[in-house]
Amino acid sequence: MEIYQDKLYALADSIRAREKGDVVYLRGIIEFSNYCRRNCLYCGLRRDNTKLGRYRMSPEEIIKRAKEVAALGIKTVVLQSGEDPYYKLKDLVGIVSRIKELGVYVTLSIGELSTHAYRELKKAGADRYLLRHETANRKLYEVLHPDGSFFNRVRCLYALKDLGYEVGAGNMVGLPGQTDDMLWEDLLFMEKLQPEMVGIGPFIPHPDTPLAKEKGGTLEQTLTMIALTRIILPKANIPATTALGTIHPEGRELGLKVGANVVMPNMTPQPYRPLYQLYPGKICVNEDPDACLPCLKRRIESIGRTII
């Protein structure tokens, strides 16, 4: 079995080298609010988690931090949050257009919105949108998302595509009740959608959620899914995710060796960072706000790649 696994990894790595070269793309992520109106069973930000201290950054704070990120030479700013209705569409449009003036790409990851909102944000300058499909198995999706539907998730992904966003889909690996067949469903779903980006990470159980006692996804399973994704979507941008770096000290380097070509340094300012607690043990939360960039640079160079 192991020998086939090695061959799979080597094939994925060679496709990554051919399609993407040896450069690793940086996407600086600012987690600007941990309020969420939804109750996804797996997530520490779910609204019923009353143990979590909540924060939201003001538009001015977000723009100031984006300026600092751009000044560090990072060319993509990712704005991520829970689904927080506090920010009205006009606020978000204002934030995106001000950040675009910095000459960076803007990626949004703020959940399910109306097609109208996605259109206005695109007009304001948003370039990309990350909205993982989480699992392509409708039944499992609906168990995990008591206040969501797979239909609406898929509607959002196709609406974003139609509007001309570069779209990021992706799934968690090792979810309770997820079978190997369901992971094949994820691959088939993505082959059909043809997303420009794919975020794949292990599920990590959070103690203050209904899934506290479940098992998490493994390193091997996650690396296998990254490798298979690289093979079916040779041109996709695939991050070596923070969750992968959380379940193994070299998880991100290993991800980069089996098909991934992107890293997302955490650029959320303090004191907010530890509060964006999707899962326990999240790496980088106690670091100085600018520490992730040199750290990732070192890690990437250690495996013979360079950052851009």
Binding residues for S-adenosyl-L-methionine: 134, 153
What is the sign of the dihedral through the CA atoms of 56, 57, 62 and 68?
Answer: negative
By CB under 6 A, residue 45 contacts ligand SAM: yes
Q: In the window 191-220, what residues touch ligand FES (CB under 6 A)?
A: none
Q: Which of 287, 289, 290, 297 binds ligand FES (CB under 6 A)?
A: 287
Count of Cβ atoms closer than 10 Å to residue 161 Cβ: 17
Is 54:37 a contact under the CB 8 Å cutoff? Answer: no
Amino acid at 187: L
Backbone angle region of 297, left / alpha / beta, with phi > 0 → left and psi within -120 to 50 → alpha: alpha
Identify whether 271 is preceded by a cis peptide bond (ω within 30 of 0).
yes
Whose Cβ is closer to ligand SF4: residue 36's or residue 240's? 36
Q: How near is the Cβ of 212 to ligand FES at its closest, in Å?
A: 26
Is 37:85 a contact under the CB 8 Å cutoff? Answer: yes
Count of Cβ atoms closer than 10 Å to residue 99 Cβ: 25
First vs last C-alpha separation in the chain:
36
Q: How near is the Cβ of 93 to ligand SF4 at its closest, in Å?
A: 21
Q: Which positions make up the binding site for (3R)-3-methyl-D-ornithine?
A: 109
Q: Which of 82, 239, 251, 255 binds ligand SAM (CB under 6 A)?
A: 82
Stretch that binds ligand FES, among 8-16, 55-63, 73-81, 290-298 (CB under 6 A): 290-298
- The count of chain residues that interact with ligand SAM, using the rule CB under 6 A, is 19
Q: Which of 26, 29, 36, 124 binds ligand SF4 (CB under 6 A)?
A: 36
Interatomic CA distance for residues 246 and 9, integer angstroms: 21
Q: Which one-letter DSSP state was computed for residue 82?
A: S
Binding letters toward ligand SF4, positions 63-92, x by CB under 6 A: -------------------xx---------
Residues of the shown chain interacting with ligand FES in the complex, contacts defined by CB under 6 A: 266, 284, 287, 291-292, 295-296
Residues of the shown chain interacting with ligand SF4 in the complex, contacts defined by CB under 6 A: 36, 38, 40, 43, 45-46, 82-83, 111
